[in-house]
Structure 1
Amino acid sequence: MNKVLEKNLKLNNGLTIPQIGLGTYKLTDENETLNSIKAALESGYRHIDTATVYNNHKVVARALKESNVKREEVFITSKIWNSHHSYLLAKQAIDEILEELELDYIDLLLIHWPTENRLECWKALEEAVEQGKVKSIGVSNFQAHHLKELLEICKIKPVINQFELHPALQNLEVVNMCKQNDILVESWGTMIRGKCFEIDQIKQLAKKYKKSEAQICLRWAFQLDYVIIPKSSKPSRVIENIQIEDFELTNEDMQLLSTIEEYRDGPDPDNFDF
């Protein structure tokens, strides 16, 4: 197996998460999604990231059933969508996610965005842990002040924060807040949703190492011990994304990447409306 796929990071509750997973955002074509997940599992991925709003839970369930990988060997992450963050709706959403994924438990369940009902949702997540429906709970797209608020009231601390994080948005305030509180950092948009191919500093390093621009971004995040979830509908790209074990970015390379002009590709977590 590819060595980078064997690397697990420890969560603050004592459990572990594979550092590299397969993202499934915008994978909605049933056959494409099925082939992508099965190719990932066959090549050694043991972490699948999905969400209610991706509308592909049932395909993930089918891929798991059709693969030869045991359930307990695969780490499944999902997220509760913003419309279901009130306490009662969150409890309902948890049961629906379990049903759609055809699982007895979810390895990691996240609040998808920091809506005004986020603290109610967290209470429902804590109860799901106590009931054995969920192993670990965390957040997605939380800024430092959202984390501070949650840490002041929670019974169970979030194990992870998944947010937009890439060489063009290094988000050090949030990264540092997570590190100070033993919360793992998870990057989405690591390849800047394809815009990595247009950025000079990344192109320069891709040429230096004879790697793709996407692989430079993934190696950057991997070296920083961020959980990463690259996605692709193409099985060949799913495999290419993990071929980052045979080179290492130097301190000078990392410094070069820090000179990229800041760019946020996704919504601002302090100003979103969905």
Structure 2
Amino acid sequence: MNKILNKTLKFNNGLEIPQIGLGTYELVDEQETLASIKAALKAGYKHIDTASIYNNHKIIAQAIKESGVERKTLFITSKVWNSHSKYEQAKQAIDEILKELEIDYIDLLLIHWPTEDRLECWKALEEALDQGKVKSIGVSNFQVHHLKELLENCRVKPVINQIELHPALQNLEVVKFCQANDILVESWGTMIRGKCFEVDELKLLAKKYNKSEAQICLRWALQLGYIIIPKSSKPVRVIDNIQIEDFELTNEDIQLIGTIKQQRVGPDPDNFDF
């Protein structure tokens, strides 16, 4: 098994999360998704990231069953969608996630986006934590002002913030705030949603290390201490995404990546209304 899959980071509650996971965004074709997840589990991935809105909880449950991997060896993340951010709706959503994934507890549950009802939703997550339905709770796509509001009102501090984070959106203000407040940072869109192949600086480094531009992005995020959840519907790429432990980016390489023009490839959390 690839040793890099054994790397973990510690939450502020003392529990650990594998630094690399399998993302499942837009993986909805049953056969493709089954193949991708089973290839990942066979390769030694322990962390699977999903969400209610992805509509693939049941396929993930089936893949885990068919792979024969023990539930207790896995780390499963899911997220409560915006339409269920009110307190009672969030409680219902949590039970639905458990049912669809066919599990007794969720390792990590996140608020997917900072909706108007985010504090109500957080209360439901805190209660799910008390009830043992969830092991750790966090947020996704929260900006600094959302995090400040949550920290002023929460009973349980978030363990993580999963944000759009890649060489073309380094999100330093949010990253620094999270690090200062002992909140882990998780990157989504690490490979710039496939646009990494168009970036000259990444092309240069890919040539230097005989790696793909995608692998350069993943190595960059790994070295900076972020959790990464690359996804692919193709089993061969699921394996390629973890072939990043045999090289190390230099400080000069990191500085070069820091000069890449910054742009979002996903929605702006402050102007997101669906």
- TM-score range (shorter-chain normalised) is over 0.9
Alignment RMSD: 0.4
Task: Report the TM-score when normalising by structure 1.
Answer: 1.00
Partner of 2:7: 7
Q: Does 1:214 align with 2:247?
A: no
Deviations 1:202-240 (A, max 9, x none): 000000000000000000000011000000000000000
d(CA) in 2 for partners of 1:164, 1:245: 23
Gaps of 5+ in 2: none
Alignment-derived partner of residue 146 in structure 1: 146
Tell me the secondary structure at the aligned position of residue 218 of structure 2. Answer: helix
5 Å-filtered alignment, 1:216-231, equals 216-231=216-231
Rounded Cα–Cα distance in structure 2 between residues aligned with 1:186 and 1:40 = 19
Distance 1:160 1:167 in 2: 20
Give the superposition deviation at 1:245: 0.2
Q: Partner amino acid for 1:28?
A: V
- The answer for the alignment partner of 1:120 in structure 2 is 120
Deviation (angstroms), 1:134? 0.3
User: Secondary structure of 1:161's match?
Assistant: strand
Q: Deviations over 1:130-179 (max 9, x none)?
A: 00000000000000110000000111100000010000100000000100
Shift of 1:4: 1.0
Using the alignment, how far apart are the partners of 2:89 and 2:194 within structure 1?
A: 35
Task: Tell me, in whole angstroms, the C-alpha distance in 2 between the residues paired with 1:175 and 1:84.
Answer: 27
Distance in 1, Cα, partners of 2:266 & 2:4: 27
For 1:37 and 1:107, how far apart are their aligned partners in 2? 18
Deviation of residue 263 (structure 1)? 1.0
Say yes or no: does 1:29 pair with 2:24. Answer: no
Q: How does 1:59-74 map to 2 (within 5 A)?
A: 59-74=59-74
Q: Please state whether the residue corresponding to 1:270 is helix, strand or coil.
A: helix
* Distance in 1 between residues matched to 2:116 and 2:153, nearest whole Å: 15
- Provide the rounded CA distance (Å) in 1 between the counterparts of 2:193 and 2:271: 20
Output the amino acid matched with 1:97: I
1:189-204 map, 5 Å: 189-204=189-204
Give the counterpart letter for 2:54 in structure 1.
Answer: Y
The answer for the alignment partner of 1:159 in structure 2 is 159
In structure 1, runs of 5+ residues without a counterpart are none
Task: Provide the C-alpha distance between the structure 2 equivalents of 1:116 and 1:253, rounded to a whole number of angstroms.
Answer: 40
> Aligned equivalents of 1:158 and 1:60: distance in 2?
25
Q: Distance in 2 between matches of 1:216 and 1:3?
A: 18
Q: Distance in 2 between matches of 1:160 and 1:176?
A: 13
The 2-side partners of 1:89 and 1:273 are apart by 18
For the pair 1:132 / 2:132, whether they are aligned, the reply is yes
Q: Which amino acid aligns with 2:195?
A: K
Partner of residue 241, structure 2 = 241
Q: Which amino acid aligns with 2:248?
A: E
Aligned to 1:177: 177
For residues 79 and 86 of structure 1, the distance between their equivalents in structure 2, rounded to whole angstroms, comes to: 14
Cα distance in 2 for partners of 1:39, 1:104 equals 24
Aligned-pair distance for 1:68? 2.3
Aligned length: 274
